[in-house]
Amino acid sequence: MAMFYSKYSGCGPPVYCLKTRLHRTCGLFAGAMLEQLLIHQPEDPIQFMIQHLLRDNDHVPKIVVLGPPASGKTTIAMWLSKHLNSNLLTKENMMGKKVSPVATEARNYYQKFKTIPNNMLIQLIKERMGEEDCIRRGWILDGIPETREQVLMIQTLGFAPRHVIVLNAPDTVLIERNLGKRIDPYTGEIYHTTFDWPSEPEVQNRLIEPKGISELETAQKLLDYHRNIARILPSYPKILKSISADQPCVDVFYQALTYVQTNHRTNAPFTPRVLLCGAVGSGKSLQAALLAQKYGLVNVCCGQLLKEAVADKSNYGQLIQPYFEKKITVPDSIVIKVLVSRLQKQDCVQKGWVLHDFPRDLDQAFLLRSSGFSPNSTKDLNSGLGFARLS
């Protein structure tokens, strides 16, 4: 039964199918779409939303990797970009573009002053993220933003990360680690004389010592980093993952990879519609009661509904009474009417429901779906197949 609903959910009559698609669209895209609408404030919002949906890129990686000097953020960002087939964005590769006037200006400025102003960096980011490969495959920012001002400027452009990773380690560890840092000028890969030395002699021979890795220079960079990061982190309260960099790089990477592959829960409206399936004695009634109590759902037991209808002597109850007296099964056509009547009530519509004791076979499942009440979460207590968390 769980497999049945997984396969056929949302495949009902045209109107219900449309409602299901709209609900899924709301859950997947509402946050990002609303964010873009507020930022760009287009003259034609409908056309803007259509174009947003046609791009179909809300699922691509949009990641920021931050961390102090020698924390390994560039290595982690590079590994993530390779594993996710996404684009790594660094100051160096954005300035290195040969055909971009913005990159040329930034490169000349950097060669002269060893830094670039915020507005120039933001123009580089805007140009790069607007390119087709970043739109299709997403992006990973390495060490950017560096200041609170850059955070706000990037947000103003409408580029919001979905995951932010912050690496951390004691300053003493970082200073010691930075002293052994070496770079492969051909690939940009970062190595270490103690912890991560390449096995190939050819690579060993071409490694170079980067500038600015002395103890004094590293200490000054750490001071600047700590001053700025304290103002950056509050900008990403719900999408932030802090990972200790004082552990093997592979372990750091797998923690980062696990995080960026998770989906954040949407704030879009969601009404739980839970179906519990299982044989007699599988615990459906108990689980339904627990779910209803914990999440404020309406506990709907089909068998109990029929008994209540008879006890209340309602119109449906009068139809059901003869079947009870003869101890024979109530026809599905009557059962579904009683069930639909309950699920249509205001408390079920507002709070959501957890249903058990129906459907018991495939025909009843089709009947429930055709009535417009397909569940969005299903649990088969016989097999242990689960459903998504409700909170």
pLDDT in tens, the chain (391 residues): 333 333 333 333 333 333 333 444 444 445 566 666 766 678 888 887 777 676 666 678 999 999 999 899 999 999 999 999 999 999 999 998 888 899 999 999 999 988 999 999 999 999 999 898 998 899 999 999 999 999 999 988 888 899 999 999 999 999 988 898 899 998 888 888 887 899 999 999 999 998 888 889 999 999 999 999 999 999 998 899 999 999 988 999 999 999 998 876 655 567 889 999 888 888 899 999 999 999 899 999 999 999 999 999 999 999 999 999 999 999 999 999 999 999 999 999 889 999 999 998 999 999 998 888 889 888 888 755 444 444 4
Q: 96: Cβ–Cβ under 8 A, 6 or more apart, which residues?
A: 103, 107
CA 151, CA 144: separation in Å to the nearest integer? Answer: 8
Q: Where are the extended beta strands (E) located within 152-200?
A: 163-168, 181-183, 190-192
Residue whose entry in the numeric block shows the structure tokens 């290195």: 96
Token pair of 383 as six digits: 């097999």
Q: What angle do CA 258, 259, 263 make, to 5 degrees?
A: 110
pLDDT number for residue 40: 67
CB 124 within 8 A of CB 114: no
Cα separation of 284 and 300, whole Å?
Answer: 11
| Spatial separation of the C-alpha atoms in residues 349 and 272, rounded to whole Å | 10
pTM strictly above 0.85: no
Residue 281: predicted pLDDT = 84
Run of H or E including 62: strand 62-66
